[in-house]
Amino acid sequence: MICHDFDARFRAYLRDWLVEHEDDLSNADAAEAMMPEVYAAFLDTPADWLEGQKPGEFFQAYADPAQLVAWMEEYLARQVDLPDMLLNRIAELGDAAAPALVSVLAKQDAPAEERMLCVSLLREIGSLAPLPMYIAWLKNRVYSDELCDNAAESLDEMGESAVPHLLDALQEATDAGREAMLALLSRYPGDERIYQGLMDLFNRYPRRQAVLAAYLGRLGDDRAVEALTQRALEDATGYLDYIELRSAIERLGGEAPEREFDDDPEYSALFGGSL
């Protein structure tokens, strides 16, 4: 596969264009304002390096998803700037492109950037095909995992289709995975496992209390008010966590306790100890 460097070709096109139009441009701002128009002209101009094809139409001639996804992998492997037109073409093919993208996701040794791109493309397509794989990732995730974060965003967009799968996986998930799943499930009240799961993590992980309080507030179960209020009153609860706890309590219809934070370093950093 030939990995044409479209970005480099555009830079060359732009240099020629700027030389040709330098007398028409009053300053750098005027040139910058013309960039969308210049780029559109570049895409629509037949190019010798593409044997007369227009850059904007080049990938439209290809309809095999496996070939296009392999082409994407080749661009990344060669470290050539990936053309937006190639990614757009893959996305245009819709569900037909899902198997090829999922196949790349299944490669444990695939570069992280490659897998992240596949997750983003599958989300753009709106495919449910990777749902089981995303659930498996979340079950085993650690707290810092960008790929899982991207997958969780996709599960969020899948909406209620993902809910039963998330509920079924809760019991076997790591605590990090359980939190990620419960974050999504907190939008869908009604299953006792969601409330109990959030409360369990809230009680066991005080260092995660701010974000877990936000999920409890979103879930809307006012049984959490008492635990949230008790935590808000604890001396060990800093100002920033208190703000999140207070917000959750009020969202659940409770009345948050008042606290003084004059000696709290977080409070002092924000307000200089003057308020």
In this predicted structure, the answer to whether residue 270 has a pLDDT above a threshold of 90 is no
Tens digits of residue pLDDT in 68-81:
999 999 999 999 99
Q: What is 49-103 written as a DSSP string?
A: GGTT--GGGGGGG---HHHHHHHHHHHHHHTPPPPHHHHHHHHHTGGGGHHHHHH
pLDDT in tens, 72-130: 999 999 999 999 999 999 999 999 999 999 999 999 899 999 999 999 999 999 999 99
pLDDT of residue 275: 38
* pLDDT score at 148: 96
How large a percentage of the chain has pLDDT more than 90? 86
Share of the chain above pLDDT 70, in %: 99
Report pLDDT digits (tens) over 42-60: 999 999 999 999 999 999 9
Tokens of 188: 């869908």
Does residue 273 carry a pLDDT above 50?
no
- For the entire predicted model, the pTM comes to 0.88
d(CA 223, CA 226): 7
